[in-house]
């Protein structure tokens, strides 16, 4: 059985976005390099410079490495750090969304296009207009409209954009006031730009109050994922420094989302980043930990396991 075992063992991989195209499951992870760097809250140790795509048709067999889909030197505007990506399909073309620091060190979101799910992808010459921060997740609704959700604090720089422009001295809010929330925007018909001004994805507690900045067990940190189950939208994410994957539900992709619970308890390693996908009638959670490296935070490995829903739509908490 491959469940809860490292899926990719010949290199380090993390942040898996799993998508189904043409009846096959494809995994879009980031590629941790086997380098020695001291960890810091800015994330300098996550110095990735390319993406591999993996094809999986049998959940009991390792995925096939389809090779390098996009490399840093193929992104004209990027300076470094190709972090967690995601992919979508429309009209026979595939769109890879990814973050990278631009030449001035500010994280932006880019998009690259290919004719196959594994690429190679050709990056647009400029990042998406008005984009910032990290961790893009693309969700296409039943009506064919696609949305991009994103954002990460600390090294992901979301806290630097609270005024609408970049402030290098911006900081995460503290106390009982509202936490920072991720962003969401509808994508244009060509999938290359925002079709509207980004808005907050508000996550509320049981009383309908936006989650507080000091509620570290529940507040948003990074790694958004948006999926739909039985007509309900599920927004899941990492709590970051409390190492949990959690989620809320809504009747609109924009939210607000009502807090529902924990998907995955802490794994070995500092970060947690995931995706949720249905394949051949079974729902799966893809995530990562640091088993292969014995706990080195920037040397991670992708894993997966089955994900189950209760009758009321809540997700059964998984212990890794």
pLDDT digits (tens, 9 = 90+) for 93-146: 999 999 999 999 999 999 999 999 999 999 999 999 999 999 999 999 999 999
Active-site residue set: 15, 222
**Least-confidence region, from 40-49, 251-260, 274-283:** 40-49
pLDDT digits (tens, 9 = 90+) for 49-62: 999 999 999 999 99
Q: Do 160 and 108 meet the contact criterion of CB atoms below 8 Å apart?
A: no
Q: Is the pLDDT of residue 253 over 80?
A: yes
**Least-confidence region, from 36-50, 150-164, 265-279:** 36-50
pLDDT digits (tens, 9 = 90+) for 167-176: 999 999 999 9
Q: Is the pLDDT of residue 25 over 70?
A: yes
Q: Is the pTM of this model over 0.85?
A: yes
Percentage of residues in the chain having pLDDT higher than 90: 93
Q: Give the per-residue pLDDT at 44.
A: 78
Q: Do 304 and 297 meet the contact criterion of CB atoms below 8 Å apart?
A: no
Which domains, from first to last, does the chain contain?
12-306 (2.115.10.20)
Q: Give the per-residue pLDDT at 1.
A: 67
Long-range contacts of 242-251 (CB under 8 A, 24+ apart): 242/216, 242/217, 242/266, 243/267, 243/270, 243/272, 244/217, 244/272, 245/272, 245/274, 245/285, 245/287, 246/218, 247/315, 248/203, 248/204, 249/313
Q: Do 289 and 320 meet the contact criterion of CB atoms below 8 Å apart?
A: yes
Percentage of residues in the chain having pLDDT higher than 70: 99
């Amino acid at each position: 059985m491959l469940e809860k075992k490292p899926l990719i063992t010949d290199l380090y991989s993390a942040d898996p976005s799993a998508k189904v195209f043409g009846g096959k499951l494809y995994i879009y992870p980031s590629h941790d390099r086997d380098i020695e760097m001291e960890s810091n809250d800015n994330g300098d140790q996550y110095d990735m410079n390319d993406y591999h795509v993996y094809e999986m048709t049998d959940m009991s067999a390792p995925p096939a490495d389809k090779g390098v889909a996009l490399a840093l030197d193929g992104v004209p505007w990027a300076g470094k750090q190709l972090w967690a990506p995601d992919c979508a399909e429309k009209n026979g073309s595939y769109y890879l969304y990814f973050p990278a620091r631009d030449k001035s060190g500010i994280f932006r979101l880019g998009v690259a296009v290919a004719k196959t799910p594994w690429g190679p992808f050709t990056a647009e010459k400029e990042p998406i207009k008005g984009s910032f921060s990290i961790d893009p997740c693309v969700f296409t609704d039943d009506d064919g409209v696609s949305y991009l959700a994103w954002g990460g604090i600390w090294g992901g720089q979301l806290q630097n954009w609270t005024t609408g422009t970049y402030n290098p001295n911006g900081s995460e809010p503290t106390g009982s006031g509202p936490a920072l929330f991720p962003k969401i925007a509808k994508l244009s018909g060509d999938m290359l730009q925002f079709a509207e001004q980004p808005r907050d994805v508000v996550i509320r507690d049981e009383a309908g109050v936006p989650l507080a900045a000091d509620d570290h067990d529940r507040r948003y940190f990074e790694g958004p994922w948006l999926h739909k189950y039985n007509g309900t939208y599920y927004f899941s994410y990492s709590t970051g420094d409390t190492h949990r994957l959690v989620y809320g539900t809504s009747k609109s992709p924009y939210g607000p989302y009502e807090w529902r619970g924990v998907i995955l308890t802490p794994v070995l390693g500092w970060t947690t980043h995931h995706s949720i996908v249905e394949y051949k009638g079974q729902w799966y959670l893809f995530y990562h930990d640091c088993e292969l490296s014995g706990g080195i935070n920037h040397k991670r490995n992708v894993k997966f396991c089955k994900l189950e829903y209760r009758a009321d739509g809540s997700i059964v908490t998984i212990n890794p």
